[in-house]
Amino acid sequence: MRKDFTNENDLYHPGIMRFATHFLSIQCLLKFKKEFQQIFTCLKWEELSYGKSKVGKEIIIITLQDKDFWPQCKYIIKIIEPSV
């Protein structure tokens, strides 16, 4: 999926400092928001066992329908970025 949607970029980058790992992951999610959302609307996702699972369906609801998710990600980045 990474190859198809984010041009081989990872959404998760382990940081040198552990506290920065979550920040970097959220930052990558925002950077590839459109591509990330496309993953959950493609046929490949629906064919995977994850796409059919309860957790997979919850992920779809959060990333595509929850109006607070993306603004909260932006807020977290805005608040934490100066300390990173």
Into how many domains does the chain fold?
Answer: 1
pLDDT at 44 over 80: yes
What does the pLDDT look like over 11-23, one tens digit per residue?
A: 665 655 667 888 8
Q: What is the CA radius of gyration of the chain?
A: 14
User: Mapping DSSP to helix (H, G, I), strand (E, B) and coil, where does residue 5 land?
Assistant: helix
62, two tokens = 């959060």
Question: Which residue in this structure is represented by tokens 């629906």?
Answer: 46
Q: Note down the domain range covering 41.
A: 2-83
Q: Report the first-to-last Cα separation within the chain, whole angstroms.
A: 29
Q: Does the pTM exceed 0.85? A: no
pLDDT value, residue 14: 60
Residue 57 CA to residue 35 CA, distance in Å, equals 18
Q: Which two tokens stand for residue 24?
A: 């970097």
